[in-house]
Amino acid sequence: MAGNLTTGGGEDLPSDTNGKFANNNSLVVSFGEFLIDFVPIVGGVSLAEAPAFKKAPGGAPANVAVCVSRLGGTSAFIGKVGDDEFGRMLANILKENNVDNSGMRFDHSARTALSFVTLRADGEREFLFFRHPSADMRLHESELDINLIKQAKIFHFGSISLIEEPCKSAQLAAMNIAKKSGSILSYDPNLRLPLWPSAEAARKGIMSIWDQADLIKVSEDEITFLTEGGDPYDDNVVMKNLFHPNLKLLIVTEGPAGCRYYTKTFKGRVPGIKVKPVDTTGAGDAFVGGLLSSLASDLNLLQDEKRLREALAFANACGALTVTERGAIPSLPTKQAVLDALTKHHTS
């Protein structure tokens, strides 16, 4: 497994009782689904019209973990795949991308999840999922790598694992372990309505853990859905419905326009970088990965508006660069590519 990517050398570093990350206090652990996306080889067609499909690794939490690593950070992924060719392929992709995959588990009876994703003419997506049930839904609390979770500076998760047991209980237990260990809890609801039994179940499930998160990233569409028709551009709607007393940072992403941020003491907007979109898959995950990579190296950003704005401009650029190529993981940028894009943006 990819357990050798944490120390800078062979020197004796302070260690806790079981910490391969003990010397690294900037670990981002991402929890949730990891699957195979099948994407049409041509854009702008329905699934039925697609002449052929190309397979690509997918799943928001895994995308975030790879993004953090590609930007030079330290990350790990916890989740379950099938004990099949696709599952082993996904584990290997994490290893190749320097993401610790020791928290992955393999299910002997359920398959790795599949998702057919079509890119419409405008670059937006339509989904068709095969999860009846899939391996990611069958992660048990007893299979959690507790020591890995305890070492997380930031513990990141979504809402898809909350849809079914046993993975719902596994996620709640992992969140609890991380919280008690002093981790920052990061939440991207990542609404996928077709996976939930009903819209009401989705709303209730997503909001059920809202007040446990320290950091939440939500899109405009998700605000409208969660507030049952509220205006996502109205600060009062956002603050009244979605800000809670323990929240350190609430981010509203606005696609190519950038993002808005809300804390207890300040709020504002950071414009995005204009690019020509080819495929929006993974843009939100790249944004989250970009932000978490900055936060993992310095949590004090949350109290310093100027530096938070710089971190959000960096995250915006991560998202923007990701939409210029097809597929999420292949198009996630390096730190240098993001810095170059920001420099170009400021000088143009």
- Sign of torsion over alpha carbons 237, 241, 243, 245: positive
Judge contact between 36 and 91, C-beta under 8 A. no
- In the DSSP assignment, the letter for residue 263 is -
Torsion of the alpha carbons at 61, 65, 68 and 71, rounded to the nearest 10: -120
Catalytic-role residue among 100, 136, 279, 285: 285
Please confirm, yes or no, whether 285 is among the known catalytic residues: yes
C-alpha distances out from residue 297 to 109, 127, 290, Å: 40, 35, 11
| CA quadruple 320, 322, 323, 327: dihedral, nearest 10 | -170
Q: In which element (H, E) is residue 201 found? A: helix 199-207
Helix then strand then coil, in percent of the chain rounded to 5, is 40, 20, 40
State the pairing for strand pair 35-40/53-58: antiparallel
Residues 6+ apart with CB under 8 A from 325: 278, 279, 331
Match 């305890």 to its residue by tokens. 150
- Tokens found for residue 62: 């895994």
Catalytic sites, residue numbers: 285
